[in-house]
C-alpha cells in the first residue's frame, strides 16, 4: 500500500470546523495559537472571509496530517487542491510552520483586496463537454474576464471570472443544452487573471522565504504532476498557481501512475473524494473531515 495525502482548498470552511478534534487533541493546536485566533475557526461567522478561511483551513489540515503521522500512517506523496498545496508544502518541511501560516494569511489578504468589489465568482460545471466549454468561454470573453479555473475531474470543471462574463458563458452553454452549474462558496474569481496584482505581491513575500528540500514527493497544481523543485522553482510555482488553472485531475492521475494506490483526503468537508473516485475509480479512497472520520480512517489504515 502506497499512501498519498490530498488536502482540500478554499470553500470547505465552516464555523466550528476542527472543534471536535481540538477537544481530543488540543496539544496539536498549541503551536498555532500565537499565529491565528482559533476562536475564529470555532465560533465566528467571519470564517468565510478569505483572510480567515485560508489560514484556518491550512491549520486544520496540518493538524490532522500530523496526528495521522503520529499514528504511523505515513504518506509517500503529498498534494492539494489550490490552497491545499500549502498544507502539502508544510508537511513536507519545505516551509517552516510559522512562515507558512504568515504566508497564507498574506495570500488571503492579497486575494481579498484584489477581488474586493470586483463582482466576480466561480461556477462548477458538472459533465460539460470540454470542446463546448472552450467555445462558451471564448464567447463569454466578449463580456469580460472568464476562464477555466480548475480541471477537478473528468466530470467537473470550474470556471472563474467577472459575473457578467460568467453569465454570458453560462447562457451560451444553456443554449447548447448544458445547464448543470453550481455557484461556489468563494469571494471572487480565484485562479484568474484578476489576481495578477495579488500574484506579484505574493512573489515578493516568497522571495523572503527559506525553502528546504522536501522530505516527501510533492505534486503541484500548476504543473499537474510531480516535480523536484529548487527555491526558484517553488517561487515560480506559487506565484503562477494563484492566477492559473488548477490541474487537479492531472495531479491525481500522475500520483496513481507513480504507484499511489491509497488516497487520503484531509479537508474540513468531504469535497475531494468524489473527484478522486471519478479520476482513479480503482484506487482506495478515504476522507477525513472531523474526529469521527479521523478515528475511523486511522484504524482502517493501521490495520491494512
What are the pLDDT digits (tens) for 103-131? Answer: 999 999 999 999 999 999 999 999 999 99
Q: What is the average pLDDT across 245-268? A: 98
Domains in the chain and their CATH numbers?
A: 3-115+194-302 (3.40.366.10), 120-188 (3.30.70.250)
What confidence tens digit (pLDDT) does each residue in 61-85 have?
999 999 999 999 999 999 999 999 9
Tell me which residue of 185, 182, 136 sits closest to 156, measured CA to CA.
182
Q: What is the average pLDDT across 7-11? A: 93
Q: Report whether 157 contacts 222 (CB < 8 A).
A: no
Count helices and strands in the chain by DSSP H and E runs: 12, 10
Tell me which residue of 190, 144, 248, 173 sits closest to 50, measured CA to CA.
190
Cell of 228: 523536484
pLDDT score at 68:
98
pLDDT range class, residue 185, cuts 50, 70, 90: confident
What mean pLDDT, rounded, does the chain reach?
96
Q: What is the average pLDDT across 262-279? A: 97
Tell me which residue of 57, 55, 89, 69 sits closest to 25, measured CA to CA.
69
pLDDT score at 303:
83
pLDDT score at 179:
83
**Reported pTM:** 0.95
Q: What is the average pLDDT across 21-25? A: 97
What confidence tens digit (pLDDT) does each residue in 125-168 have?
999 999 999 999 999 999 999 999 999 999 999 999 999 999 99
Q: What percent of the chain has pLDDT over 70?
A: 100
Q: What is the average pLDDT across 198-215? A: 97
Q: What is the average pLDDT across 251-255? A: 98
Q: What is the average pLDDT across 162-179? A: 96
Burial level of 227, CB count in 10 A (0-12/13-18/19+)? middle
Kindly tell me if the per-residue pLDDT of 243 is higher than 90. yes
Q: What is the average pLDDT across 38-59? A: 94
Distance, CA of 240 to CA of 195 (rounded, Å): 10
Q: What is the average pLDDT across 26-42? A: 95
Amino acid at each position: 500500500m502506497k499512501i498519498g495525502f490530498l488536502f482540500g482548498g478554499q470553500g470547505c470552511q465552516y464555523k466550528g470546523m476542527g472543534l471536535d478534534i481540538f477537544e481530543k487533541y488540543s496539544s496539536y493546536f498549541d503551536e498555532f495559537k500565537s499565529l491565528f485566533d482559533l476562536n475564529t475557526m470555532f465560533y465566528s461567522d467571519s470564517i468565510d472571509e478569505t483572510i480567515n478561511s485560508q489560514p484556518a483551513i491550512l491549520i486544520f489540515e496540518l493538524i490532522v496530517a500530523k496526528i495521522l503521522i503520529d499514528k504511523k500512517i505515513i504518506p509517500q506523496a503529498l498534494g492539494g487542491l489550490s490552497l491545499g498545496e500549502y498544507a502539502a508544502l508544510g508537511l513536507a518541511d519545505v516551509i517552516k510552520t510559522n512562515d507558512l501560516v504568515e504566508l497564507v494569511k498574506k495570500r488571503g489578504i492579497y486575494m481579498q483586496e484584489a477581488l474586493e468589489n470586483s463582482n466576480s465568482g466561480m461556477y462548477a460545471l458538472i459533465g460539460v463537454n470540454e470542446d463546448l466549454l472552450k467555445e462558451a468561454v471564448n464567447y463569454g470573453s466578449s463580456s469580460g474576464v472568464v476562464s477555466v479555473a480548475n480541471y477537478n475531474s473528468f466530470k467537473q470543471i470550474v470556471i472563474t471570472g467577472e459575473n457578467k462574463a460568467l453569465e454570458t458563458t453560462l447562457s451560451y452553454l444553456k443554449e447548447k443544452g448544458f445547464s448543470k452549474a453550481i455557484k461556489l462558496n468563494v469571494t471572487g474569481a480565484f485562479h484568474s487573471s484578476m489576481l495578477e496584482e495579488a500574484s506579484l505581491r505574493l512573489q515578493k513575500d516568497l522571495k523572503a522565504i527559506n525553502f528546504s528540500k522536501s522530505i516527501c514527493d510533492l505534486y503541484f497544481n500548476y504543473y499537474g504532476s510531480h516535480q523536484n523543485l529548487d527555491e526558484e522553482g517553488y517561487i515560480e510555482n506559487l506565484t503562477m498557481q494563484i492566477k492559473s488553472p488548477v490541474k487537479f485531475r492531472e495531479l491525481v492521475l500522475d500520483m496513481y501512475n507513480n504507484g499511489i494506490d491509497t488516497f487520503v483526503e484531509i479537508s474540513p468537508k468531504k469535497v475531494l473524494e468524489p473527484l478522486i473516485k471519478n479520476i482513479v475509480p480503482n484506487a482506495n479512497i478515504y476522507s477525513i473531515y472531523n474526529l469521527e472520520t479521523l478515528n475511523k480512517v486511522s484504524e482502517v489504515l493501521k490495520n491494512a
